[in-house]
Amino acid sequence: MSLVEINFDGVVGPSHNYAGLSLGNLASARNARQVSHPRAAALQGLEKMRANLRLGLHQGLFVPQPRPAHQWLAELGTTLERAEPGLRANAMSASSMWAANAATVSPAPDTADGRTHLTVANLRTMPHRSHEWHATLAQLRVAFRDERHFAVHGPVPPAFGDEGAANFMRLTEQHGQPGVEVFVYGLSGGPFPARQHLEAFKAIARRHRLDPERTLFVQQSEEAIAAGAFHNDVVAVANERVLFAHERAFEDKGGFLGELSSRFPSLEYVEVAAAEVSLDDAIRSYLFNAQLVTPPDGRTTLIVPEEARETPSVWAWLQRHLAGNGAIRRVEVVDVRQSMANGGGPACLRLRVVADPATVDPRFLVDEVKLDRLKDVISREWPESIHPDELADPRLVSQIEAARTALLGALDLSELR
């Protein structure tokens, strides 16, 4: 069995809108009530996947969830037509596009039973995301249905908030070898909630049957959360031997790095000093909400959004690092502006799964031909623009529902309707 890293990107759904629902997400608040462009957003996402394929990476996808969330509204005793505007917006969110929050994934080499374990995130902190897990779990159980190779778990009970792989990192010599799994939790974020609870991650580590000697729990910096780093992947990202982080990412940086180095001696730690790139610049540019990958040519590559190139301090730091032949050897820039405007960069859009592609349902894996087919569907079916005041318009709702149905048809995934 050949284990490789597969990046599963969420296709941006046809209800993509800027309702400003995510407390602590500064981009979401900054762009609240602006006009969104779902078609452009989804096409940008496809081009990001295509760029990964061209680097030689393995690429998969998750489909948008049903919107409106009729069942959730019914449980609240209302309908989209009768719901107040705030509740209506929560039921129309396309935030499942950020697949990094779909689940926490422990690859087979790390687990006692030799299977890849996935626990779907409960996302309990934010109402618009709290109802996502049902549809996410349904997709995971289809994509990873082979129980010889995968164990798919339901969510941690909602007493403890869990936001998935956006707060998870793994260090390893190679993807197919055992690694050290790092679970990053929050305790406080000043005016903003700490979304990832320690007890949730401890439960996931037990479920996934991880070796305690290769498992670390580390507190995210309160300063970082208060500055707008609502997930750890806004201030830190890891891949194989490299941990790339802002100086202010962790509450006890010294203690954490000492413990990590003792368990993973080949660690390559790359730090961006606050004196060179402020937390504000790091968060606004999403320098760390990037994909850190190793293409077949072996050159560790950082995939950043256009906003990183447009932030002088960030781009200057990257150029200095590359000139010095550091651990990161190449930077690729992608345009995901529609996602960025709602607070999600390249890393938010993907869930990393280490697996043999032959064990995954092939309908969730993509190549250039499949991406061309999806581009045709999106260009034809997705709304061109949405203002939050339009979310109850029956014509828009019908278009959104028809667009998703067309996409499922193109992927032969009608069982997810």
pLDDT of the residue at 1: 63
Task: List Cα–Cα distances, 199 to 158, 206, 217, in angstroms.
Answer: 11, 11, 10
Give the sign of the dihedral formed by CA 145, CA 151, CA 157, CA 161: negative
Cβ of 324: how many Cβ atoms within 10 Å?
Answer: 7
Choose the catalytic residue: 37, 117, 128, 163. Answer: 163
Top-level class of domain 4-416:
alpha beta
Alpha carbon distance 53, 59 (integer Å):
7
pLDDT category of residue 114 using cuts at 50, 70 and 90: very high
Q: What's 353's DSSP letter?
A: E
Provide the token pair at 27: 């981009």
Catalytic residue among 231, 251, 332, 381: 231
Q: Which of 325, 230, 320, 219 is nearest to 268 (CA)?
A: 325
Residues 208, 106: Cα–Cα separation, whole Å = 7
pLDDT at residue 323, as a whole number: 84
Could you give the percent of the chain with pLDDT greater than 70?
100
Active site residue 197: no
Active site residue 47: no
Amino acid type, 268: E
What CA–CA distance (Å, rounded) separates 234 from 347? 9
The Cα 365–Cα 347 span in angstroms is 18
* Sequential DSSP letters for 311-378: SHHHHHHHHHHHHTT-S--EEEEE--HHHHTTT--TTTTEEEEEE-GGGS-GGGB--HHHHHHHHHHH
Would the pTM of this model clear 0.85, i.e. be above it? yes
> Are 151 and 118 in contact, with CB atoms under 8 Å apart?
yes
- Strand-pair partners of 118: 105, 152
Let me know if 231 is a catalytic residue.
yes
Q: Percent of the chain scored above 90 by pLDDT? A: 94
Residue 302 β-bridge partners = 292, 331
Give the pLDDT band (50/70/90) at residue 31: confident
Pick the catalytic residue: 117, 332, 348, 381?
A: 348
pLDDT in tens, 82-103: 999 999 999 999 999 999 999 9
Give per-residue pLDDT as tens, 311-340: 999 999 999 999 888 899 999 999 999 999
pLDDT tens for each residue of 250-262: 999 999 999 999 9
Q: How high is the mean pLDDT of the chain?
A: 96
Structure tokens at 178: 């055992």
Residues 355 and 114: beta-carbon distance below 8 Å: no
pLDDT digits (tens, 9 = 90+) for 385-413: 999 999 999 999 999 999 999 999 999 99
Ordered DSSP codes for 134-153: HHHHHHHHHHT--TTTEEEE
Q: pLDDT, tens digit, for every residue of 158-181?
A: 999 999 999 999 999 998 899 999
